[in-house]
Amino acid sequence: MNLTMDDKVAENYKSNSQKIRVITEQWVSNNLFCPYCGKEKIAHFENNRPVADFYCPDCAEEYELKSKNGTIENKVNDGAYDTMIKRIESINNPNFFFMNYNKQDLHVKDFLMVPKYFFSPEIIEKRKPLSDTARRAGWVGCNIVLKQIPEEGRIFIVKNEIEIPQKEIISKVKRADFIKQYKLDARGWVLDVLNCVNQIEGRDFTLEQMYKFEDVLSKKHPDNNHIKDKIRQKLQILRDKGILEFRGRGHYRKI
């Protein structure tokens, strides 16, 4: 994998945004395999496709690319808020690639994939409407808040300019695939509880430690009056799916 992008592919473009789009997409076309099935190359959709940028010719998984000059640890700008929420709630939401590159030397610093099933409305932040004097007055955009996605759903392909082995990437994708069987509401609960687990330092933790997140979870799910029951239920799911190990008497271990 060549981590330096080629700016010559965008020589015929004048707009900086168009140039970086062409440069980053060309890099993905030349370097990326399918994280689901391992297909050596993924294909580029025709331009201006509304849903995705790339697809795998073998397993048909689709991917959308978001690139940013600077860190992607916190949040990444996206398009219209309402459109993004509808996509999350639909059956054809693509997986996402997120790229962090250095503008000066066009070097890829970080590149990660987030499986589509790890997206929920809670990770989409609504931006303020554009002012009345703006060309698109009243338009409401959004941010994808990456830090609200559990670590299990942030699968690095390149991290700190170091390429991650392909077998390790595919293994992580398969391990995270359990979340797809749940409907959106149940999925949000599993992801929220998993985020709470990841906030606890160390591998071992107790049910009592998880109960300390009751207030946080009740604010996210105000219509539910049985937060502790939900915590236990979702911990059992994470145990059954091999994310956690139950060690008896309210004790758990992260695997």
- Helix and strand numbers (H, E) in the chain are 7, 13
Range list for CATH 1.10.10.10 in the chain: 184-254
* pTM for this prediction: 0.86
Domain 184-254 has CATH 2.60.40.10: no
d(CA 178, CA 172): 11
Tell me what the mean pLDDT of segment 228-248 comes to: 94
pLDDT in tens, 127-167: 999 998 888 899 999 999 998 899 999 999 999 999 999 99
Amino acid identity, position 136: R
116's CB contacts (< 8 A; 6+ apart) are 93, 94, 95, 96
Please give the pLDDT value at position 92: 75
d(CA 116, CA 126): 19
Distance of CA 58 to the CA centre of its chain: 22
Percent with pLDDT over 70 in the chain: 98
pLDDT in tens, 15-48: 998 999 999 999 999 999 999 999 999 999 876 6
Residue 86 reports pLDDT greater than 90:
no
| Residues paired with 99 in a beta bridge | 67, 111
Please give the pLDDT value at position 28: 96
d(CA 76, CA 113): 13
pLDDT in tens, 43-67: 998 766 656 789 999 999 999 999 9
d(CA 104, CA 69): 9
Tell me what the mean pLDDT of segment 67-87 comes to: 86
Q: For all residues of the chain together, what is the average pLDDT?
A: 91
Range list for CATH 3.40.210.30 in the chain: 7-181
Q: 7-181 in CATH: which number?
A: 3.40.210.30
